[in-house]
Structure 1
Amino acid sequence: MVRHLLLGASALALATGAQAQGFNRIASFPVTANLPEGADPETETAPEIIAASGDTLVYTDSPLGALGFIDISDPASPQPLGAMMLEGEPTAVAVAGGFALVGVNTSESFTDPSGHLVEIDIASQTEIGRCDLPGQPDSVAVAPGASFLAVAIENERDEDLNDGVIPQMPAGSVFMVDLTAEGLIDCGTARVADVTGLAEVAPSDPEPEFVAINAAGEVVVTLQENNHIVVLDRDGAVLSHFSAGAVDLTGIDATDRDGAGRGALTFGEAQPGRLREPDAVAWIDDDHFATANEGDYEGGSRGWTIFNQDGTVIYENGTGFEHAIVEIGHYPDRRSDAKGVEPESVAFAEVAGTPMVFVGSERGSVVGVYDVTDPAAPVLAQLLPSGVGPEGYAVPADRGLLVTANEGDLTEDGGARAHVMIYRYGAAAPVYPHLTSEGADELIGWGALSGLVADGDRLYAVNDSFYGMQPRIFTIDPSQIPARITGSVDVTRGGMPAQKLDLEGIATDGEGGFWLASEGRSDRLVPHALYRVDAGGEIQEEIALPQALLDVETRFGMEGVTRDGETLYIAIQRPWRDDPADHVKLLRYDISAKEWAVAHYPTEPAETGWVGLSEIVAHDGALYLIERDDQIGAAARIKQITRVALDGVAFVPLGETPNVVEKEVVRDLLPNLRATGGYVVDKVEGLAILADGTAYVVTDNDGVDDSSGETLFFTVPLN
């Protein structure tokens, strides 16, 4: 496996768990709390660009057409301050003193772009000034000292026209305007910098994407679609300009293998000459700036770069950032054939005396924190979990805070709503990630963990059908902090990956191999089945469900399997067609006699959605189960471990009326799920219990698809 050489040093601080201090998330604010009174709670709302002014955060909300406000007097308990509706689509915001400077897009079409810059008094949430802009704004930056500001006028292309290829007129530009000593915009000082004729790609149609200003009043501008960077003085004169260049990428996953993203995490491909096409840019000092190389229609180098303003590359991250994200289970496999983790955002601040660059992966929902004391040799200090789609940052460094705006608002199917997340830098050691494959002999991608089992002092986990072409068994060493995935084997049939299995449970077979439970779907001709595999993952035996069960099955099938001697116990997730409401099947399979039996487990009634089982473990004469609802965030009510004493269970043959078991709730998991300061995730999927009674729980991150990508892995007491 070829790996980027910078990764080893960059990942060291993350891997050792030896940091004495760092950032930890302290709060998550759902921006639905700022919806106007009487608004439909399902109204789409999404924070995109965010800034801080004293005790107030301000953020742009493009879907709502508003500027949102959050009180962070107590940053661990952010409070809603409402939203101010604007005359158009807000695209960017910066602050100067107590004022917010907002770029507002009012374009009627791609060929007739327009917009204005509006100044808002933050305390009163009232407009106090406005300047017309020469097109569609995409980024706003205020100079240190607040003497002037710059606006990137993108005049974005129509992606449906000519396959999105530029040039497409009118051309973009950079707008600048002075601020008075009071921080007010002086529209009479407006000037427009012409940046046409500079780029090698479509020089007649520059599309400025992002602007940043250093202490010397120099403005750096990324032309993302043109793969070009320009540095201007405060009057708009060009000081330097250069191609953003290209990167040779190796050790990446560049293929969507089945057309739906449900492929395999295999990092052995290459992309030579991949254009950087930088999006966000941030000055590190007066000579150097960092770019997040998200890419557009012809590029995206999956990493980030530090340039000297003369165009010299002094640091190239290559695949280091992406590989680190792979190791913590946040790799977005469905984006493999596009731009991978898509580093879209970048910010700089000096926090507690250390210069830091913050790099955001839009698709991996991760923020990388880099120590750039030496800009030529950044060190990855942390990877922070964010909400879905981190887009903008505020870094109130004087308060030791980092704030991320996460624009993913998953209103469909009860998904997570959009959040602003707040982190504090302090003496406490970082608590995330909980699980990593860093330090393994090769790069191990993982995610969608759905079942867990203990064997001695090791744990084993399986992934579900999200990676339908690559069912895997992972070996976990839980003794380290964070816990380590030390190896993996593919589940195979005839030496080839056993595709389309939906592995939801794993148990040891007592002979060095495993029993696996696969949740079937009759509508897709995928059978419900138990599989016994050897230590190398090769299937040795398949046990189909008997016809008496298949006659009443639904797609919500086996969610866990456990072994007690020569007996397997299986948890069915939700009621099947012959089950009464709020009752699910517990199945028993006698391995030697090949006989099935059944009992009923009573679930809690669901307030919304459903309640079912996600895991089952035999331990010390009892069955321990994970019972959960399908709700997320504040709507979550039931995430718990229950206990069923085996000596009180009377299983009956299939076809007879099942007896109802008596359950005991032994652990409410909601406090554990809130412990990292994020919203409560829905899929608590895995439970394993060591011989000494230590219990481990793991959550399923849905393969980072419509998910924050967070995997929580923690221990809980059972009594």
Structure 2
Amino acid sequence: MRKMTLALALGVLLSGGLTMAAASWMNVNAAVTRVAGFRPVTRYNVSGSVAEIISASPDGKLLAYTDAGQLQVGFVDINNPVQPVQAGVVDVSAYGEPTSVAITPNGRYALVAIKDVEEEISAQQPGVLLFIALENFSIAAQVPLLGIGPDSIAVTPDGAKAVVAIEDEEDPDNPPGVRPGEVNIVTLNYDAPGESTVAEVPIDLSAVSGANTVADPQPEFVAISPDGATAAVTVQENNVITLINIASAQVIRSFALGVSNHPLADLIEDDDILFVQPFAGRREPDAVAFTPDGQALVIANEGDTEGSDSGGRGFSVVDLNGNILYDVGSDLEAEAIRRGHYPEGRSENSGIEAEGGTVATFGSTPFAFIASER
């Protein structure tokens, strides 16, 4: 059994106010112990309207970000982290809306997932994958994807493959199951990027015990194991994680994530923070990240379906068989209250909505960073 230690810090990272929690694990399952935290180095307002998804270059000196509001992808030079500089902006409006970006391990391209911007969802067409050359911030190629509504992209450590979560959110004219979400695996061709090939991985949740709305899988976010062999995909509205063998483009297993129990919560929107009610909500995670040993996953339990039981209001650590190793329970929202960041106007929805998550090692200590959208 492993014990989890927890460090909390408030931070702003390009896109605006996100409450950040940093956790290092040493034994998940026992008491949470506070350790030293992190402080923001600076704040930078990017060119455009928003910065939503961010990817760093291998040397850590360049950031790429998606700006769905302006239909562009921006780049920020952080050679001097205290004084970031806008390095470039690429207009992608001719292709659609950028939803995710990942810089390749060799630093040559920024791969951008693009979804169709047709207003009528049922008329939307499959998305594309753009290759943006970082040497001059120009579009080098586009590769048609096989699914509608790509929402997240990750690249294997060796740079050979990209994995794309295809969400395909439905509307009343497109009943659940008519266009189920899926995963695309792209074999990258660096010398002729337009000739990269795409394999389709269907997501079938019909046999997954405890899954929500099994006829309409909606993959949300993808992470890749440190050895590059496995992709973990959150199927958010369905409260499921699917593991995929990247080499064979085959599903390994899918498992439901159950509920997160909170001894204390504020469930009434009345302009008064009363952290007194018990709560149990489906985790429905957005972001997912592998632990450094590749044996577990850190999930940010945002929640994304209607109803008062949606969202885990925190984060969990789960093993690759679906066993919950650790759940933060009420502690993350309690910390948000203490620091004046609790969104009381969202109490009847999903509270702080833990949305983002990643893992990094500082010195010899591995940390998980959880971003709360609200």
Shorter-chain TM-score bucket reads 0.7 to 0.9
AA in 1 matched with 2:103: V
1:687-719 Cα deviation digits (max 9, x unpaired): xxxxxxxxxxxxxxxxxxxxxxxxxxxxxxxxx
Q: Give the superposition deviation at 1:168.
A: 5.7
Deviation at 1:296, TM superposition (A): 1.0
Shift in Å at residue 277 of structure 1? 0.7
Q: How does 1:97-246 map to 2 (within 5 A)?
A: 97-108=107-118, 109-113=120-124, 114-133=126-145, 134-158=147-171, 161=172, 167=176, 169-180=178-189, 182=190, 185=193, 187-198=195-206, 199=208, 200-214=211-225, 215-234=227-246, 235-246=248-259
Provide the residue aligned with 2:42 in structure 1: 27
Give distance in 2, aligned partners of 1:305 and 1:63.
31
Per-residue deviation, residues 459-499 of structure 1 (Å, max 9, x unmatched): xxxxxxxxxxxxxxxxxxxxxxxxxxxxxxxxxxxxxxxxx
Alignment-derived partner of residue 288 in structure 2: 281
Partner letter of residue 28 of structure 1? R
Give me the CA root mean square deviation: 2.2
Which residue pairs with 1:10 in the alignment?
A: 32
Between the aligned partners of 2:344 and 2:135, the Cα distance in structure 1 is 44
Deviation of residue 112 (structure 1)? 3.1
Q: Which residue number corresponds to residue 72 of structure 1?
A: 78
Superposed, 1:263-662 pairs within 5 Å as 263-272=271-280, 274-284=281-291, 285-297=293-305, 298=307, 299-363=310-374
Structure 2 unaligned blocks of 5 or more: 1-5, 8-29
Deviation (angstroms), 1:117 = 0.3
**Compared CA separation, residues 12 and 350, structure 1 to 2 (3 A):** closer
Match of 1:48 in 2: 52
Deviations 1:622-654 (A, max 9, x none): xxxxxxxxxxxxxxxxxxxxxxxxxxxxxxxxx
Distance (Å, rounded) in 2 between the aligned partners of 1:77 and 1:265: 38
Deviation of 1:187 after TM superposition, in Å, equals 4.5
Identity over aligned pairs, percent: 33
Equivalent position SS for 2:241: strand
d(CA) in 2 for partners of 1:142, 1:11: 33
User: Whole-Å Cα distance in 1 between the matches of residues 267 and 234 of structure 2?
Assistant: 25
**Is the partner of 1:323 in helix, strand or coil?**
helix
1:92 shift after superposition = 0.1
Q: Normalized against structure 2, the TM-score is what? A: 0.83
Matches of 1:336 and 1:192, distance apart in 2 = 39
Contact in 1 for aligned 2:299/2:316 (Cα 8 Å): yes
Query: TM-score normalized by structure 1?
Result: 0.44
- Counterpart Cα distance in 1 of 2:360 and 2:184: 25
CA deviation map 1:513-556 (0-9, x unaligned): xxxxxxxxxxxxxxxxxxxxxxxxxxxxxxxxxxxxxxxxxxxx
**SS of 1:341 mapped into structure 2:** coil
In 1: Cα distance, 2:39 partner to 2:339 partner: 16
Task: Answer whether contact 1:10 1:320 (CA < 8 A) is retained.
Answer: no
How far, CA to CA, are the matches of 1:131 and 1:174 in structure 2? Answer: 15
Give the number of aligned pairs: 329
Distance change (3 Å), C-alpha of 1:292 and 1:187 = farther
Worse overlay, 190-199 or 123-132: 190-199
1:253 corresponds to: 266
Larger Rg: 1
Measure the CA separation in 2 of the matches of 1:342 and 1:229: 18
Q: Tell me, what secondary structure is at the counterpart of 1:48?
A: coil
Q: Equivalent residue of 2:38, what SS?
A: strand
The answer as to whether partners of 2:110 and 2:132 remain within 8 angstroms in 1 is: yes
- Aligned partners of 1:303 and 1:343 also within 8 Å: yes
Cα deviation for residue 315 of structure 1 reads: 1.0
Q: Aligned equivalents of 1:174 and 1:350: distance in 2?
A: 29
Amino acid across the alignment from 2:141: G
Q: Which runs of 5+ in 1 are unaligned?
A: 1-5, 14-18, 36-44, 258-262, 364-719
1:62 to partner: Cα distance:
0.2
